[in-house]
Amino acid sequence: MPYRVVQWATGAVGREALRGILDHPDLELVGVKAYSENKKGVDAGVLVDRPHTGITATTDIDQLLTNTVDCVLYTPRTPSVDDVCRILSSGANVVTTAFAFHPASTEPADRDRLLAACRTGGSSLHGTGLNPGNLGAVLPLAMAGMCRDISAVTIQERADWSMYDSVDITFGQMMFGADPADVTAEVPSLAYTSDLFRQQVWLLGESLGADLDEVTTELEIVPASVDRDVFGTTLKAGTVAGQRWRWTGRRAGQAVIQVETLWTVGERQPKHWPTPQHGWTITIEGTPSIQAHVVTLASFVRDVPLSDHVQAASVATAMQAVNAVPAVCQAAPGFVTMADIPFVWNRAAAGSPHL
């Protein structure tokens, strides 16, 4: 019997997850949660340019959870602990790309509420994605399987946000284009994003037996040298056009696990910044030392629009979650991290009719 799945949110990642559910032989779509009235009542197939499914989007949570649901694939930009607790208490598992990468290191009040909801519903909560997610946890742990000992793990992400047609995230949530004096790691929208990466450091440290004492956060801001148009919005000279973040897990004062992001919006990197290739670079210093570089594209052989290449990261984020659903449904109730479940993949991916 396929697992009965609700897709919660239909943004860039949510739409790709919806396609993934429809294509997955072990999953059955039984509901779609929409946030906007203009999507209410629209067939799931229409939302993702597929044939009609008979499943229409709704804004009514009670309607979604009335029937038997094995798992909710929860992909909104900003999570609601209240909503997730409600889902978990109903008996449905939750796989999310929005938070909960290492619940043990989250804010204690939220952690305790979520765990209580898991116990009430006999359900599990699993956070996953791309980075944070596969490239910041699953792949480093797989690489660690080839090591006898490890002294340091570094994950670097380099990206130019001027390629992403999501100005509300670029200029809103991430505060590019803002006055540099206003952009600190403590600003709520940035603190939320930062906490996701901080959790990833704790997860890796715990999984590799690093016995971390602390995880610190550093943020360096780069101002724009000139005015730039970013999908119809002007990023003005002197405002924020670059952010270098570092989350460092230390033991006895020594860096053991580090996640670094090098993000710009059309601006050249400062000379003192490291220069990994665009994409993600995972480096393990140990015996032996190992390095891998990963990039997501729509295709390495087909001629496709640039927008398709950019969207590939959303596809990868969504599919890491979609493919984790069976393993999470089979897991014991409670928090389930990426280090807790078996290696996941879509066993029918090479036979997909939508390649």
| Contact status, residue 206 vs residue 102, Cβ threshold 8 Å | yes
In a domain, 188, yes or no: yes
- Range of 38's domain? 3-130+313-351
Residues 6+ apart with CB under 8 A from 330: none
- What is the structure's pLDDT at 349? 85
Number of domains in the chain: 2
Q: Do 123 and 260 fall within a single domain?
A: no
CATH number of the domain enclosing 148? 3.30.360
In a domain, 308, yes or no: no
Burial grade of 26 (CB within 10 A; 0-12, 13-18, 19 or more): middle
CA angle 138, 335, 216 (to 5 degrees): 60
Report the Cα 128 to chain-centroid distance in Å.
6
Q: Do 138 and 276 fall within a single domain?
A: yes
Q: Do 18 and 112 fall within a single domain?
A: yes
Q: Do 118 and 242 fall within a single domain?
A: no
| Contact status, residue 329 vs residue 3, Cβ threshold 8 Å | yes
| Contact status, residue 6 vs residue 33, Cβ threshold 8 Å | yes
Residues 6+ apart with CB under 8 A from 288: 146, 147, 148
Q: Do 290 and 338 fall within a single domain?
A: no
pLDDT by residue, tens only, the chain of 355 residues: 899 999 999 999 999 999 999 999 999 999 999 999 999 999 999 999 999 999 999 999 999 998 899 999 999 999 999 999 999 999 999 999 999 999 999 999 999 999 999 999 999 999 999 999 999 999 999 999 999 999 999 999 999 999 988 888 999 999 999 999 999 999 999 999 999 999 999 999 999 999 999 999 999 999 999 999 999 999 999 999 999 999 999 999 999 999 999 999 999 999 999 999 999 999 999 999 999 999 999 999 999 998 899 999 999 999 999 999 999 999 999 999 999 999 988 888 887 555 4
- What is the structure's pLDDT at 352? 59
In a domain, 319, yes or no: yes
Q: Do 228 and 86 fall within a single domain?
A: no
CATH number of the domain enclosing 121? 3.40.50.720
Q: Do 112 and 9 fall within a single domain?
A: yes
